[in-house]
């Protein structure tokens, strides 16, 4: 599955809630999400209208590594309902 091209930072934050992430703080235009599932993990997401593909890819790779899954499996889990 390809990366979606029109994902906003807020949309990604909502999708990551299904993995246990919650917004722990916001500084300016960046959201800090935290989870305690499988250990404590933090990720920072720009709250921009459309995330750049490289930024989205890096965030998803970091989350996938934390959960011990492939990036493709994570993309499928988060975005499969859009098809």
Average pLDDT score, the chain: 92
Number of domains composing the chain:
1
List, in sequence order, every residue forming a beta bridge with 27; answer none if it has no partner. Answer: 30
pLDDT tens-digit series, residues 27-60: 999 999 999 988 899 999 999 899 999 999 999 9
Backbone dihedral angles phi then psi of residue 32, each to the nearest 5 degrees: -110, 115
pLDDT at 1 over 70: yes
Q: CATH no. for residue 14?
A: 3.30.920.30
Q: Is 58 a domain residue?
A: yes
pLDDT number for residue 80: 87
Q: Is 79 a domain residue?
A: no
Please give the Cα distance from 54 to 42 (Å, whole number). 19
Give pTM, 2 decimals: 0.89
């Amino acid at each position: 599955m390809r990366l979606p091209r029109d994902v906003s930072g807020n949309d990604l934050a909502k999708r990551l809630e299904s993995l246990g992430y919650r917004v722990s703080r916001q500084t300016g235009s960046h959201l800090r999400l935290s989870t305690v599932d499988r250990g404590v993990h933090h990720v920072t997401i720009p709250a921009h209208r459309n995330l750049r593909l490289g930024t989205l890819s890096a965030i998803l790779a970091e989350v996938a590594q934390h959960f011990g899954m492939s990036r493709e499996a994570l993309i499928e889990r988060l975005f499969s309902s859009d098809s």
